[in-house]
Structure 1
Amino acid sequence: MRKRSLALASVMTVLGLTLPSTTTVDSAAGRTLPIPVDPRGVGLRPFTGQPATAHPIDTAEVPQHPFMAANGTSNMHGDAYQTDAYHNPGPSGPDLTVSSRLQGGVCLTVTFDSRGRIVTVCITPGQAPRLLLLDPDTLDPITTLSLPGAASASPTDAVGGAYFYLDNHDQAIIPTNTGEILVVAVQGDRLVPQRSYDLTPAIGTSGIVSALPDWSGLLWFAAEDGTVGTLDMANGRIETHEFNGEQITNSFAVDESGGVFVVSDHALYRFDATPSGRPEVTWRAPYDRGSRQKPGQFSHSSGTTPTLIGPASGPDGGYVAITDNADPAMRVLVFARGKNGPTEVCAHPVFPANTSATENSLVAVGGDIIVENNYGYEFDGRALLKGLAGARQPDTVPGLTRIHVDYPGRNCSVDWSNTVERIPSVVSKVSLANGLLYTYTHPSADELATRPGGQLLGHPDAWYLTAIDVRSGERVWSRLAGAGPLVNNHYAPISIGPDGAAYIGAVGGLIRIADN
């Protein structure tokens, strides 16, 4: 998935708030302030559905990457396979509490250090991105560190720390807006810069989208102009491979065989490093990129980071899944990912004709795949004013589908399809411990559930953490996160913490929803 910088300045201006350059603090209380919400949300039912009964999903664990923090805590998609699946439980719903903190920008990747504290980068257009160490219970800042450069005002800029990862020594490895890879250690209650690597001799002014280590510890990076490179962090040596006329707008995945899996706006690639550390294309699988950039997408391409399924020691060297961008309907694509690939396992269309698009990674549930529909989402001045005015019209075509993959038979089929939930842009996550998929929904005005006897003055722009039964695709419960444009997640993920809470990046900062 690719992240966008936010039109936060315009949001804050319309709301009459000052855009802070650091976390907003109430000087009297000495604590950070919550994200402001639309008071009309009090007329909505805060919880619908019923508490969940845990139905664990028995599946093999993803191999632990030796150079990344523990699975579920290391990066935006949780692990090196980018599965978006956790082995610890998330909220179950009996008595959910909602808290938030205004951080002056969207907090994107949420990681957790070895003490369970949050390490995240928050981005505000036109200002320096900030690395924050937060208390996971209160979301109060323990310390902050300004990163080099200023975040771009462009609504489609993915660089500047949107993707970073936490390594096995509690160090954040961060691509910066200045073309550097910055290493920052969490030392006690401090964030301490360790070293910086300048990549501009190799990438020029192209922004770094993402960086991850392979299983040998060699750092790989992908730049917007299509450059895929390696950095030997021991000696600073940089090697690159440049695509001809292709761009990269998503992160990538790595596996224990040395494979590095990258999606450009034309094809899926497997890379491996030569003995000298040079990135080399092992195979290329072109996909149907369709005829257009669809509403809800950032580019004319697949919107997915590759998702790896099964160990590299298994049949076909394991598998890799993405979506294409085909017309009239995009398809889920599954390939064998071994060095002798790519062998296509299956391709299956999803969502209604001419209204299908995703800008988020697929979720792996065992060997199956869950995909969401983001078609129609927009975040601009008109959408903002409509939300503030209470004119809640449908902005996203609903859709959430589980694809069953028959690997020996080389075919796919629909296991279930939810045609109700509207999911504008969140990176949804699955808890394998309780069998729930957590997503962030945005009902239209006529779908809002009001309190008994409640009266709404207009229709608040309401956002919900919603739990879906992974086995059936049916909604189990929804908890109101808040109303108004500052609680819009705008492509930030849901992250399930070691404490079982769900953390949601939002335009205004960070939201925490947990069992009481």
Structure 2
Amino acid sequence: MHGDSGNTGDTDYAAPLGHNLRISSAAEQIAVIVWASDGSMIAGYGNASTNPITRAIGAVDPSTFEVLASWTAPVNQTLNLGYMEYILDTDEVLLSTTQGYIYAVHRENCDGVPSFTLRRTIDLTTTIKPWEWMLNSMIDAAGNIWFTTGGITGSGDPAQNSTTAGYVTPDGTVYAIHIENQMVENGIGVSGTSMYMATGLSGAANTSYNATGYMWAFAPEKGVGLKTVWKVPYNAGSGGKPGEITRGTGSTPVLMNDQFVVITDNEDPQINLLVYHQEEQESADAQLFCKVPLFQPGASSNENSVISHFDGDKYGLLVQNSYAAPPFELPGPGFILNGTWNDMSQMPGGFVRVDVNPKGGCEVRWTANLASKTVTLLSTKTGLLYSYIQDKAVTPTGQYDWYAVATDWATGEIAWKVRLGSGGIFNDNWLPASIGPDGQFYQAVFGGIVSVKDGL
């Protein structure tokens, strides 16, 4: 979802510059896109040919969105598509199921015909607690597969009173730790053989104002198995902010090369950007490199990963304000496709870029008046940020128009925007975007997928 194992949200692929833009769309329920070593599209999608719809991975033709080949998990296994990973060295998709399995699925291409073959199955059902759901799986440089339980309660996942985190070695040995009254609500980050995760409140701990969540760093340790390298608290606030879909931080940990790791907290009334050293420091206070208040007090929240890019001198970080965002929509009886769940006019919005000097200091570089729920992306080739927004000027009339927008990474100025569709069918519904090697910007939406590219 966030581009790489460090969740940086940037890519070296080119993306549209705004020239004679061409728009395509399809009704395929494509939710998450990754790109194979040969540049082909692999997607997590809903297989509408089954009833109920089955989650699957597919080889997809990016020009027509036709699913050319697919793989589904065994019966009674529900795939976690949001945090699936593509391993370029082996052309394998690594993904887990909520029930506690991890699968490595090889993508093959014989004479131009794609197919999938299951290569490895890892059963962690006796490692995790009966009430926990598996959420994350990610490979490290030594071939260990890190995992955590957890879920996103705002998208329909159940609250869980504990977290299990650990890794599986290449020979199948499992090392794990159980953490009470904390819950992983986002993805994880992996650098080398270290894993970084953040937990929010759950169980007995989810009761207090200015409650405490934690940022963690883990690593393998010979003779011990799993080492907690460091653990530091952050302010998880009181919860219940409008638009909130997680109890603690809404940010997946983002790795800034091998120097820092960044999340946002959930402090009241104003959240903060928290930049930590990756390496262990002498104290919890020293672990924090810098802290920057974000957005306006009383209208400040974040439910997306931070974008990170290093220009050789400083790191640029992009955070978007999720305060008062409409909830993730799970259709049920009485659902109205073009109803008020589409309305984003109440969002104050805001994009902010913060620059981090590794020699010391963090400062706001620019702010932009944009409101988005989706995962914004940066193309280093074009120097533009790509996101998905709503025209809030016409929203009060019941018209919901959706736009792709490109913003200058250096200045925060809008470079171009184009209308991609109207109504609930084009609502992103918190689904992620992607930039492909073909130069297209792709956005998953409630009714399928839409893309935009430069014309001739």
Paired AA for residue 417 in structure 1: T
Runs of at least 5 residues in structure 2 that lack an aligned partner in the other structure:
151-161, 201-212
Confirm or deny that 1:142 pairs with 2:46.
no
Judging changes above 3 Å, is the alpha-carbon distance between structure 1 residues 395 and 389 closer, same or farther for their aligned structure 2 residues?
closer
Confirm or deny that 1:112 pairs with 2:35.
yes
Judging changes above 3 Å, is the alpha-carbon distance between structure 1 residues 335 and 142 closer, same or farther for their aligned structure 2 residues?
same
Confirm or deny that 1:356 pairs with 2:300.
yes
CA distance in 1, matches of 2:451, 2:228: 41
Cα drift, residue 309 of structure 1: 1.1
Q: How many residues align?
A: 413
- Of residues 415, 429, 432, the one that matches 1:490 is 429
Aligned position for 1:374: 322
- Equivalent runs, 1:22-101 vs 2, <5 Å: 76-101=1-26
Aligned position for 2:147: 221
- Of residues 432, 436, 439, the one that matches 2:380 is 432
Confirm or deny that 1:512 pairs with 2:447.
no
- Contact 2:337–2:424 (CA<8 Å) still a contact in 1? no
SS in 2 for 1:227: strand
Paired AA for residue 354 in structure 1: G
Paired AA for residue 302 in structure 1: T
Paired AA for residue 145 in structure 1: W
**What's the CA shift string for 1:459-510, capped at 9, x where partnerless?**
4211111101111111111111211212222222221111111111222222
- Equivalent runs, 1:330-345 vs 2, <5 Å: 330-340=271-281, 343-345=287-289
Cα drift, residue 320 of structure 1: 0.9
CA distance in 2, matches of 1:208, 1:393: 31
- Contact 2:246–2:303 (CA<8 Å) still a contact in 1? no
Paired AA for residue 364 in structure 2: V
CA distance in 2, matches of 1:187, 1:228: 31
**What's the CA shift string for 1:401-458, capped at 9, x where partnerless?**
001223323x32211111x2121x211111111110111112214489xxxxxxxxx5
- Contact 1:144–1:191 (CA<8 Å) still a contact in 2? yes
SS in 2 for 1:403: strand
Aligned position for 1:162: 82
CA distance in 2, matches of 1:276, 1:160: 32
Judging changes above 3 Å, is the alpha-carbon distance between structure 1 residues 128 and 384 closer, same or farther for their aligned structure 2 residues?
closer
Cα drift, residue 390 of structure 1: 11
Aligned position for 1:64: none
Judging changes above 3 Å, is the alpha-carbon distance between structure 1 residues 242 and 91 closer, same or farther for their aligned structure 2 residues?
same
SS in 2 for 1:202: coil
Aligned position for 2:412: 473
SS in 2 for 1:339: coil
SS in 2 for 1:486: helix
- Of residues 209, 226, 230, the one that matches 1:279 is 226
- Equivalent runs, 1:313-324 vs 2, <5 Å: 318-324=259-265
Aligned position for 1:175: 96
Paired AA for residue 421 in structure 1: L
Judging changes above 3 Å, is the alpha-carbon distance between structure 1 residues 395 and 277 closer, same or farther for their aligned structure 2 residues?
farther
CA distance in 2, matches of 1:474, 1:384: 37
Confirm or deny that 1:121 pairs with 2:48.
no
Paired AA for residue 376 in structure 2: S
Cα drift, residue 386 of structure 1: 8.3
CA distance in 1, matches of 2:11, 2:64: 23
Aligned position for 1:264: 199
Paired AA for residue 488 in structure 1: N
Paired AA for residue 118 in structure 2: P
- Contact 1:181–1:197 (CA<8 Å) still a contact in 2? yes
- Contact 2:435–2:442 (CA<8 Å) still a contact in 1? yes
Aligned position for 2:156: none
SS in 2 for 1:378: coil
CA distance in 2, matches of 1:278, 1:261: 16
CA distance in 2, matches of 1:272, 1:340: 15
Aligned position for 1:412: 362
Cα drift, residue 395 of structure 1: 3.7
Cα drift, residue 169 of structure 1: 1.3
- Contact 2:378–2:385 (CA<8 Å) still a contact in 1? yes
CA distance in 1, matches of 2:216, 2:26: 40
Aligned position for 1:41: none
SS in 2 for 1:122: strand
Aligned position for 1:254: 190
SS in 1 for 2:127: helix
Confirm or deny that 1:396 pairs with 2:347.
yes
Judging changes above 3 Å, is the alpha-carbon distance between structure 1 residues 126 and 348 closer, same or farther for their aligned structure 2 residues?
farther
Judging changes above 3 Å, is the alpha-carbon distance between structure 1 residues 384 and 377 closer, same or farther for their aligned structure 2 residues?
farther
- The CA RMSD measured in Å over matched residues stands at 2.4
Cα drift, residue 296 of structure 1: 2.4
- Contact 1:250–1:305 (CA<8 Å) still a contact in 2? yes
- Contact 1:445–1:459 (CA<8 Å) still a contact in 2? no
CA distance in 2, matches of 1:390, 1:243: 36
- Of residues 347, 350, 353, the one that matches 2:291 is 347
- Of residues 112, 119, 124, the one that matches 1:199 is 124
Cα drift, residue 187 of structure 1: 1.3
**TM-score w.r.t. length of structure 2:** 0.85
Judging changes above 3 Å, is the alpha-carbon distance between structure 1 residues 444 and 149 closer, same or farther for their aligned structure 2 residues?
farther
Deviates more, 1:393-402 or 1:343-352: 393-402
SS in 2 for 1:129: strand
Cα drift, residue 388 of structure 1: 4.2
CA distance in 2, matches of 1:204, 1:190: 34
CA distance in 1, matches of 2:46, 2:324: 24
- Contact 1:229–1:239 (CA<8 Å) still a contact in 2? yes
CA distance in 2, matches of 1:378, 1:389: 9
Aligned position for 2:181: 245
**TM-score w.r.t. length of structure 1:** 0.75
Cα drift, residue 378 of structure 1: 2.0
Hey, which of these two has a bigger chunk of strand by percent? 2
CA distance in 1, matches of 2:63, 2:281: 47
